[in-house]
Structure 1
């Protein structure tokens, strides 16, 4: 079997194919940023939990999610034993770095060469968000630039994935104290990961805090808000569906932090943006203003029902929270 190129995103996958690259292309479509996580993502119990989560949060049909995950895992198993070379194309942000660690952890015992293209910039492209921005001609300049994965990179990826899958955040805090430079974008990405936990000050994640701060001076359209959050928090690699879900959690709760005018619900999987969606706006409620200044606690008021990696976040008390200004966690 010739080389197999594994990429994130159909846009880049289509451009890479059009660039005349030698080999097959597998677009990895599993979002490892969200939902319950384990060491092997095709585990039947875990897969059932994930399918239910993705259906509840995004409206993805459970059978479609399950079949898609099993299909790409089967392709990876086949390629692991038969492809002459695997080439992984992944960017610097958290979304991609988690995929990279999972795939490398799965490929530790592969007898053939695995190589990597990973970057956080490209000449003439600013700001650089990802490989999907590149033109076909720009992508052609990357042909053959991939670098073989080393043994210490494989071991670090397995260690990171084990910590990410753990039922508490302390193993990840430990890893962040180590030298992670063999995978140069990993430390920044994992630091962003820790900021997904609610703060001890207000029960808000860093993204939620950013949303409230951007709305402090008045309403913004959801599209403008998404654009600004994407620019200021580019290290996460957030997609639009993920962003709508974050807003929904802050809107449809016992004590809403946001009020949204012009819509009763936000788009789900497979749904086009409704007419006049550009006029749908978000603003702060009084509770949102109090939370933004640390005078109200989102978790204490509204609780949480979510996953961060392998950590189950459920309820109003005994929830893992991040300690601001340090790589540390506490249960409150």
Structure 2
């Protein structure tokens, strides 16, 4: 009997898909490719150590656990079970998933003499779900309706995915800027996802990325509950598909710096990997500092004040000057 392998993002959806009675095995992909240093081959030992250190520093993920999980996943891609005759990829429309999809298509396309078909189910809505942000929202009955709705992956999709991963892995963002001017319709959700990636770069006007700017904007001149801010930013910037740990890191990027732009009351440490929410976390609040107000209105520049040490794909943004920034007028990049 033909056998399928379903590759999905996230344990929650993986468990529901399994409970839906789907035919085949399920591989849950546990990697956040929109964070940390990126390369063509993610199992490269040097790159893997760099990523493990990044994830440990940012989120408290144990280094050895991160390495072992990554290597197990990569091994599953290197040699799918010999009796698998179809691999089905289940991925959503947001940046988080689209980057993962491009990487997986690139890896599977590069395998010598594959003996399996490659199929894709990628959606950005579901009937009856008013605000669709992910497959994990769906219940088992709804997921059952998606059985056998996947479509064969075309050569155009494979070639585009490879092109995207090559550009995203590059040490400069110029290839990505070129991509944004090309026809990306072979993967219909890719255009908006890559536009969201563009918005992750610091602005020429004040050195903030789009989510940092949103945080300052939503706080305004008062105080905002940390959890309500997370919900509002998540809904407004749903095209990113980032989770709570990523948002706490973004808050800390403008909080725990030389000249803080926001101040936290109620506690000092935002949650890390596998940590429960702190006591009375629902009462913790953020407000803008005077410096935050001046940066928000572009009277001061966040990077000139605080610098940056972060990665967007293969691009390392490091220091206070000569940093790649986005030019919103031309959807290009400049160093300043």
TM-score bracket for this pair, using the shorter chain length: over 0.9
Among 304, 325, 329, the alignment partner of 1:325 is 329
Q: Secondary structure at the match of 1:7?
A: strand
The answer to whether the 8 Å contact 2:167/2:176 transfers is yes
TM-superposition CA deviations, 1:242-291 (whole Å, max 9, x none):
00011111101000000000111111111010110000101100111011
Q: Deviations over 1:43-98 (max 9, x none)?
A: 11100000000011111110000000001111122217652100000000000000
Indicate yes or no: 2:314 matched with 1:310.
yes
Partner of 2:208: 204
- Structure 1 vs Structure 2 CA RMSD: 1.0
Residue 260 (str. 1) matches residue 264 (str. 2)? yes
CA contact (8 A) 1:36 1:308 kept: yes
Match of 2:241 in 1: 237
User: Deviations for 1:88-121, whole angstroms, at most 9, x for unmatched residues?
Assistant: 0000000000000000000114342010000100
Give yes or no for contact 1:2–1:83 (8 Å, CA) kept in 2.
yes
DSSP-derived class of the 1:107 partner: helix
Q: CA deviation at 1:128?
A: 0.4
Partner of 2:6: 5
Which residue of 1 is the match for residue 49 of structure 2? 48
Change (3 A) 1:188 1:81: farther
Output aligned runs, 1:165-314, within 5 Å.
165-314=169-318
Kept in 2: contact 1:84–1:112 (CA 8 A)? yes
279-288 vs 215-224, which moves further: 215-224
* 35 and 81 in structure 1: CA distance in 2 versus 1, 3 angstrom threshold: farther
Other structure's SS at 1:137 match: helix
C-alpha distance in 2 between matches for 1:182 and 1:101: 12
User: Do the aligned residues in 2 keep the contact of 1:5 with 1:86 (CA within 8 Å)?
Assistant: yes
In the superposition, relative to structure 1, how do residues 81 and 152 fare at CA in structure 2: closer, same or farther (>3 Å)?
farther
TM-score (norm 1): 0.98
Task: Write the distance in 1 (CA, Å) between the matches of 2:36 and 2:115.
Answer: 31
Matches within 5 A, 1:56-75: 56-75=57-76
Q: Using the alignment, how far apart are the partners of 2:216 and 2:82 within structure 1?
A: 49
Q: Matched residues in 2 for 1:325 and 1:258: separation?
A: 28
The answer for the alignment partner of 2:140 in structure 1 is: 136
> May I ask how many residue pairs the two structures share in their alignment?
332
Structure 2: how far apart are the matches of 1:330 and 1:54? Answer: 28
Determine whether 1:112 maps to 2:116: yes
Instruction: Please give the alpha-carbon distance, in whole angstroms, between the structure 1 residues aligned to 2:146 and 2:128.
Output: 14
Hey, what does 1:101 align to over in structure 2? Answer: 102
Counterparts of 1:66 and 1:11, CA distance in 2: 22
Higher mean Cα deviation, 102-111 or 238-247? 102-111
Gaps of 5+ in 1: none
The answer to whether the 8 Å contact 1:80/1:107 transfers is no
**Counterparts of 2:6 and 2:311, CA distance in 1:** 30
